[in-house]
A and B are shown apart, each in its own frame.
Chain A
């Protein structure tokens, strides 16, 4: 089983709608990182969360790490076609906040219909 579970696996939304992607771990997340990937391309860094209860926003994307540091959510407000892609959560589960040894979820594929 995956150490990091993302849900849903895929999502189709109408442009302008809000959406949420979840990332859950059975272990404490020592650093949680959200990336976006266009098919077959590299990962684009979105946000890094390190403290329980932390919340960060960039443009229309907000990410939160729960107090127990075992779940994170990524929320997109008023989705646009440019938000389409694969969203990946990554984490260091080893307790050292090492960003060079990340475990990734399987990804959530987002389609935004105009």
Chain B
């Protein structure tokens, strides 16, 4: 069975640009969450979507947005990129909101 898949795996962007990251959850999983992990730290929660509705938002600026599609896949969008947005962006999916969450391999975003 395919796990959580994220694309692209690596990305280099310039300050001020926009980026879209994509996530396909494990088949049947309805909850998708996004995390940002900067070097040397644990992941920080950004968004959770469940059944296509936003169910939680972490302490991130409005430049960060996300959505979940009818097939439960998800996109994370970041506008007006800053150098500080450079990080590993992780997507996690779970069958329900209280079942174990499985993570994808992440997208490494570098902003120059």
Q: Give the B-binding residues of A (Cβ under 8 A).
A: 4, 31, 33, 35, 40-45, 48, 88, 90, 96-107
Contacts and interface: CB of A to CB of B under 8 A. Distances in A.
A100 B42 contact: no
Given A41-B105, A43-B90, A98 B41 contact: no
Interface string B23-59: 0000000011100000011111100101000011010
Nearest to B41: A106
Interface of A is mostly: loop
Contact of B33 (A33, A101, A103, A105): A101
B42 to A, nearest CB: 3
B100 A42 contact: no
A7 to B, nearest CB: 14
Interface residues of B, number: 30
B45 A102 contact: yes
Contacts of B100: 33, 45, 48, 99
Contact of B97 (A40, A45, A88, A98): A98
Enumerate the 3 nearest inter-chain pairs by beta-carbon distance, A residue then B residue, closest first.
A104-B42, A100-B48, A43-B103
In this complex, the member of A40, A48, A97 whose beta carbon has the largest number of chain B beta carbons within 10 angstroms is A40
A33 B5 CA distance: 21
Given A98-B98, A99-B98, A35 B33 contact: no
B29 to A, nearest CB: 10
Contacts of A33: 100-101
Contacts of A103: 45
